[in-house]
Amino acid sequence: MTKPIDIPTIDTREQLEAINGQASPSTQMKILKALEAHSKHFIERSPFLVIASGNASCLDASPRGDGPGFVKILDDTTLLIPERPGNRIADTLTNILGEPGVGLLLMIPGMNETLRINGNAYITDHAPYLEQVAHKGKAPKLAIVVDVHQVYFHCAKAFIRSGLWRYETFMPRSDMPTLGKIILEQIMGAGVTEEQVADVDATLVQDIEENLYHK
């Protein structure tokens, strides 16, 4: 891999450990090979996760969210994640086709600890599985099956430092332009009209209203 800029870098595990140290035996012991009572309890209450996947040229991290417990536990080493309607770019699904390795970061609003799960993923259209993750009787077209290899809870430091769940740290939405304006200016540059922005914003709102779930 070509270094992006000409600066000293850490290139070996020995160099890294000399600076960063090694995980203690007690920390390493928390990495489990299967789900147990506490991880299942967390999954059943989590409404949101980030799934990381990759291919030969790049990595990707994508959000997934639904009601608490939208990730179904099939057994101690198998999870089922519904594939709800999205932008159809399908980065995660495309990556899984070539490289099944994935990482999950599950969150519960207001809780500073997170649950990390690593394993291999597969795409399925198996009707009995899709029915398990249906919304109001409507099943998704696809789902992701995760073969769990590692499970562990991650400590609260990042969330405490960021103040992510503290209401007083919430940014006023007016501090950022609308998504329609952002997309238009990314594509067209400055100078887009208010009418153009309004049209794109309306299209985005309509897509959310009509395509939040499969009909």
Domain ranges of the chain: 28-162, 171-211
Name the token pair of 163: 């103040």
Question: What topology does CATH give the domain 28-162?
Answer: Pnp Oxidase; Chain A (2.30.110)
CA distance 181 to 70: 32
**40 membership: H or E segment, kind and range:** helix 37-45
Q: How would you write the pLDDT of the chain (215 residues) with one tens digit per residue?
A: 566 678 888 889 999 889 989 888 877 888 999 999 999 999 999 999 999 999 988 899 999 999 999 999 999 999 999 999 888 889 999 999 999 999 999 999 999 999 999 999 999 999 999 999 999 999 999 999 999 999 999 999 999 999 999 999 999 999 999 999 999 999 999 889 999 999 999 999 999 999 999 87
For residue 61, the cross-strand partners are 52
Amino acid identity for residue 59 in this structure: L
CA distance 43 to 47: 8
Per-residue pLDDT, 1: 53
In residues, how long is the chain? 215
Q: Helices 194-211 & 179-188, crossing angle to 10 degrees?
A: 120
Per-residue pLDDT, 2: 62
Per-residue pLDDT, 4: 64
Q: Is 164 exposed, middle or buried (0-12, 13-18, 19+ CB in 10 A)?
A: middle
Nearest residue to 184 (alpha-carbon basis) of 175, 172, 173, 193 = 193
**72 membership: H or E segment, kind and range:** strand 72-75
Handedness of CA 74, 38, 100, 97 (dihedral sign): positive
Tell me the Cα Rg of the chain. Answer: 20
CA distance 75 to 103: 18
CA distance 84 to 138: 11
Per-residue pLDDT, 82: 97
Per-residue pLDDT, 99: 96
